[in-house]
Each structure stands twice: as C-alpha cells, then as structure tokens.
Amino acid sequence: MEELSKFLTDEQWTTIMTISLKVLKAFGVFILGMMISRWVDRTIRYRLGNNKGLQVNDTLRPLIATTARYTILLATLYAALTIAGIPASSLLAVFGAAGLAIALAVQGTLSNVAAGMMLIFLRAIRVGEYIATPNVEGSVLEIGLFITQIRAPNGVLVTVPNAQIWAAQITNYSRVTERRIDINIELARDNDLDKALGVINTALLASPHVINKDKASVAITTTTAQSVTLQARAWITSQDVRGHTSNINLALHEAVRAQGFKLPPVVLK
C-alpha cells in the first residue's frame, strides 16, 4: 500500500475507493435481486396453486412466475448499474443497442417466447392434456416462456422448444370428452349376416361403456369371396379409451362366438 501511495495522490485514492464502494454496492444489490426474484418465483408458483391462494390454472402459473422473476432481474440490473454510477441516459442507450443486437442474435429464442404466449393464450394446449405432434407425443407437464415439458408415454421427460409445437399440427386427445371408436369383426361369408348384425348390435348397446347409444351402429364394410367385415361404431368417454375399447371388443367377440358364427377360412401362404 505504501508503494502504491507513492504513485497515487490522495484525490486519486478517494476516487478509487468511491468507485470500488459503488461497484460493491451494485454487486450486492444485484445478488439481493437475484435472491428476491427466485423467492418471488417460488412464492407465486406456490400461492397460485394453493387452495388458499388465487387458484390460477396450471397452464398460466409458470408463465406468471417466470415473467415476474425476469422483470425483477431486469429492474435489479438497472438499479445496480445506476448505483455503480452509470447515467440513466447511457443505460437506456446501452440497453437499446444491446436489445437490438440480442434480438437479431436470438431470433429463434424470441420466436419460442412468442409461440409460448400463443400456445397459452389461444389455449391450443393445457397442462395435463395428452397431445401428439409429428415429433413428440405425451402429457403436457409445463408450458414455459421458451420450452414445453412433455412426459412421453414411456415416462421419459421430453423438452421441446415452443416454436416447434406451435408450427406443427397438434392432436389433442384430452380436450374433447367423447371419442368415437370403430371395431372390426371378420366372419366367414356364408354366415347369416343379418343375424350377425343383430347380435353384434345387441351386444354393443348392452355395453356400459357405450354412451349416446342412439349413435351406435353396425354395418358391413368390406366383403371378399370368403369373408366379410362387420364394423361396430360407438361413442365412449375419453377417460380410458384403451380399456373401454378392449372391453367392448371382448364383449362383441364373445357374443359372436356364443352364437356359433364361423370365422373366415385360414389362407395358407
């Protein structure tokens, strides 16, 4: 210190100490802001999902929490730079230039933000729904500002940029509460087809899983020289499509077997 004091005047030492204190204060403010932003993020997620809170749905909650966090971070950065002694006019100019440069450099990232907003506010998908796109399929866990988290059918977590989902065709299996199913039953052509249609229709209407029974129907769809395909069409709830379809399929085939209808002959190749 004594050696350095030979090269610096008291006024210069005072200036250095003043600047150093400002930088330390600015750094402290920024660290404090980061801690507060994380606390706000966690608090918003908890309070908006708590029964005693405002009860915002699972789709909007991550967006609100993330927006609040980054808003606090930007405000903290501005405050820290101001405390460090950088004029507000200079900050605005720097932020403007930096914002333009960043916008040009991360166009893909900004497109993900825009796509995420569109997905949420247009309600294309919601948390908890089962969706499929040309590239991914599974249950939606979270829709963020940049990415959407999806749980694949095998339990693997898949992270997809929002823009990829928004730009693709989305098949939503959970939005509609009713689902139409078609079950094909192949019989030999020399059966009593009128009787077969009646038996299958009776079994179809007797199933507890079939809703809107007036819309249920059975018809012949295809015929060959040796076989005929009868198609049973019905509406069921979308809660357990796989299980309900399996039960109805089993009931129809059991009804056909109980009446002794013959199956098509096996063609050896």
The CATH code of the domain that includes 233 is: 3.30.70.100
Bridge partners, residue 142, by sequence? 149
Identify the domain boundary among 172, 194, 212: 172
Highest mean pLDDT among 44-58, 97-111, 125-139: 125-139
Number of domains in the chain: 3
| pLDDT recorded at residue 105 | 47
DSSP 262: P
Q: Token digits for 74?
A: 């930007």
Q: 143 is in which domain, residue-wise?
A: 124-172
155-208: per-residue pLDDT in tens?
999 999 998 999 889 999 888 889 999 999 999 999 999 999 999 999 999 999
Q: Is the pTM of this model over 0.75?
A: no
Strand-by-strand arrangement of the 227-237 sheet? 178-188, 227-237, 217-223
Q: Please indicate whether residue 15 or residue 257 has the higher confidence score (pLDDT).
A: 257
pLDDT at 111 over 60: yes
- In the block, tokens 């009860």 appear at 55
Bridge partners, residue 181, by sequence? 234
Q: Please indicate whether residue 87 or residue 119 has the higher confidence score (pLDDT).
A: 119
* Alpha-carbon gap, residue 73 to 34, rounded angstroms: 6
Provide the pLDDT confidence category of residue 94 given band limits of 50, 70 and 90: low
Q: Please indicate whether residue 35 or residue 107 has the higher confidence score (pLDDT).
A: 35
Q: Please indicate whether residue 72 or residue 101 has the higher confidence score (pLDDT).
A: 72
Identify the domain boundary among 105, 134, 156: 105
Q: Token digits for 11?
A: 């006024």
* Alpha-carbon gap, residue 195 to 182, rounded angstroms: 20
Whether 111 maps to a domain, the answer reads no
Q: Please indicate whether residue 55 or residue 164 has the higher confidence score (pLDDT).
A: 164
| pLDDT recorded at residue 84 | 74
- The single-letter code of the amino acid at 243 is G
Highest mean pLDDT among 21-25, 75-79, 86-90, 192-196: 192-196
- The single-letter code of the amino acid at 123 is R
Contacts of 153 (CB under 8 A, 6+ apart): 137, 138
Whether 15 maps to a domain, the answer reads yes
Whether 149 maps to a domain, the answer reads yes
Nearest to 170 by CA among 141, 145, 128, 138: 138
Average pLDDT over residues 93-97: 63
For the purposes of burial, counting CB atoms within 10 Å of the CB of 197, is it exposed (0-12), middle (13-18) or buried (19 or more)? middle
| pLDDT recorded at residue 137 | 93
| pLDDT recorded at residue 176 | 86
CATH number of the domain to which 132 belongs? 2.30.30.60
Where does the chain have alpha helices with state H? 2-5, 10-47, 60-83, 88-105, 107-121, 162-166, 193-206, 241-258
* Alpha-carbon gap, residue 39 to 108, rounded angstroms: 29
Q: Token digits for 225?
A: 């020289």
